[in-house]
Structure 1
């Protein structure tokens, strides 16, 4: 991706009062929030990807004893995002569950939180590679993808440049160099036409946007929006270092 051409026309972020960054994505106004959620203003829609609920319990079943609080923390953060906006729709953009038995391992209170969410808003489950069957006992709509305004929301990015696509799956992260030091952060990455959103789950991890998995996705040099404490920071491509 280092040889991508520069942008043919200006594209940039604007500061949002919430600490996020606003932009026109394929002509649709969106906000990249500090939580890693995407807000689509015209549709009053909140989009989060790759929650990987019950990843901790999946690892524990294989003898890797992680603290079993990832689902509770991820849902707490999601509830905070829902409470912060007058929304109509929440889209879970695939890999909401870590595996096909995750739903069975949900604690009662965590399952109740998802049912409550479906009771106050339209809840859309876009299927991913970890949860291809969608939820079995929880409410909401199950879709392969969803179109809104000039955008198409799906779990896995399609090959080649795709104007208007919003996807997850790749868990983008960026190592940013500044003042002789570097930090690694989850991030959004976009060229103004398509967007890959960060993983929202507490245990989801991340992949460098310099990795070959991102090669060929963008028609021009992308911008990175790195997540910080209550704020999203715009980062130019040349400031992003390989892992």
Structure 2
């Protein structure tokens, strides 16, 4: 017996109701009709055809009042002020570093936006500019915070906190930025002795925790050894 198989194109699937903010986000494919009504405004990732609002990319719908957008699952990072990012230094320029942060344009780290060795707070001089490559050079990985967003969408970073700065002795993992949610804390110390920095730009840094404090047992052993050999 041969059965009949019915195939429906994405453009033929119509969602007559649009999910509200309290409901789980719905996934849409390119060409799929989001809504057949005219009560909504067209946002990013959508287009109007045959009096219907359709998705132009594969992603999840976001609705703000009457504005409907489709956020693609695979896209470049779009930064916001206060985001924690992990980036790689591409070039040392005059009074600034160019940093790759998985965004559409390269980010900028100004010389005035970093902590000098020793945490000294003063105006940057010509000597500091000459020593820039000793502080950060091409290929170095850093953690930073988005300080501002320029009109063209590029990001201005800063590392004026002890938790930010140059990264070493670890592994960099890259994921899609859409998989990272914005949280109050993106720095985590796991019980297994591993530190994790989850960048909003999809770059995740995994490194061993810094052993600043000795274990009590080890401290007692050292003290006993010193007393025996005194």
TM over 0.5: no
Normalised TM-score (structure 2): 0.24
Normalised TM-score (structure 1): 0.23
Higher RCO (CA 8 Å, separation ≥ 6 residues): 1
Name which one, 1 or 2, has greater alpha-carbon Rg: 2
Structure with the largest fraction of strand: 2
Structure with the largest fraction of helix: 1
